[in-house]
Amino acid sequence: MKRFWCFFFMFWPIVAFVLCWIAPDMGWWFPSNGPTGMKAASPIGERIDDLYYMILYITTATFVGTQVALGYVLFKGAAMTDEGNEQKVWYSHGSHNLEVIWTIVPACILLFIALYQMDVVKEVRVKSAFPAETKGGTVAIAEVTARQFEWRIRYPGIGPDGKKLPLMPKPQPTDLYTVNDLRVPTGEPSMIILQSGDVQHAFFLPELRVKQDAVPGLDIPVWFEASKSGDYTLLCAELCGWGHYKMKAKLVAQPEADHMEFMRQLTVQQNYDGVPEATNEVAQGEE
């Protein structure tokens, strides 16, 4: 029984290693509901995944190493109690050298992770590092307002020339509106202006690895790029009230031509006054 604990603590590193090895193939790792499966559905998301994998490798190696060391110490300690063993137990009040080592090594690892991920964080969070297509005061594709418990989206309208108008800071008569339905073109960076209409929310696109808090009183630019057409999940990732669980919407990535067709149809629906067009023409003829 005295060696049971040795094998017990040696068993879990093996389990951890096997689970970490098979987790991606079993779908236990990243979200797998979108058109791209577990693979990130955006270029920046793929780089974020690489960071997660790097941290997974480091933590797995650390856990396995510490558990193996613990099992070895227990095994050696159990061996000293064997019958006929004449080796005396020795006691230590600590080792200054070991304390320095296990302080400096984790600090160096954390510093490495912090420096290694700076480029990705800068590209996601720092406006000056945003893609060129998203720079400028009126290039946002939509204004997304989070409120209990829905997402309200304001799009710029379509001008007389058939092209999209710029999104202005204040609502315009030509603006178009949807609820829980965000549409963006596929394969190009898109920026939204994120707002909150009441409490703090969190704009979360799990398949694209995008998450940003929506803070009352702030207009926050958020950019992302969907690499494949399809429907993606849009969630609130911040506990925002009793209906937080149902604050779910969809992001639809579609080719540019389909996106413009959606905007034209939305324009027709929003401007429809309930009177059939033929009736309007008859009324005009009578006048």
Residue 267's Cβ-count burial label (10 Å; 0-12, 13-18, 19+) is middle
**Interatomic CA distance for residues 122 and 278, integer angstroms:** 56
Alpha carbon distances (Å) from 80 to 76, 77, 89:
7, 5, 7
Summarised one tens digit per residue, pLDDT across range 20-47 is 788 777 777 777 677 777 788 899 999 9
Task: Please write the tens of the pLDDT for every residue from 134-156.
Answer: 766 567 899 999 999 999 999 99
CA-wise closest residue to 140 among 178, 180, 194:
194
283 — pLDDT class (breaks 50, 70, 90): low
Q: Check pLDDT > 90 for residue 183.
A: yes
Higher pLDDT, 68 or 83: 68
* Residues 40, 29: Cα–Cα separation, whole Å: 12
Q: Quick count: other Cβ atoms within 10 Å of Cβ 202?
A: 19
To the question of pTM greater than 0.75 for the whole model, the response is yes
- Token readout for 244 is 């937080």
In this prediction, residue 139 carries a pLDDT of 79
SS3 218: coil
Paired with 154 in beta bridges are 143, 177
Per-residue pLDDT band for 276 (boundaries 50, 70, 90) equals confident
The confidence score (pLDDT) of residue 280 equals 54
Helix-helix angle 96-116:118-125, to 10 degrees: 40
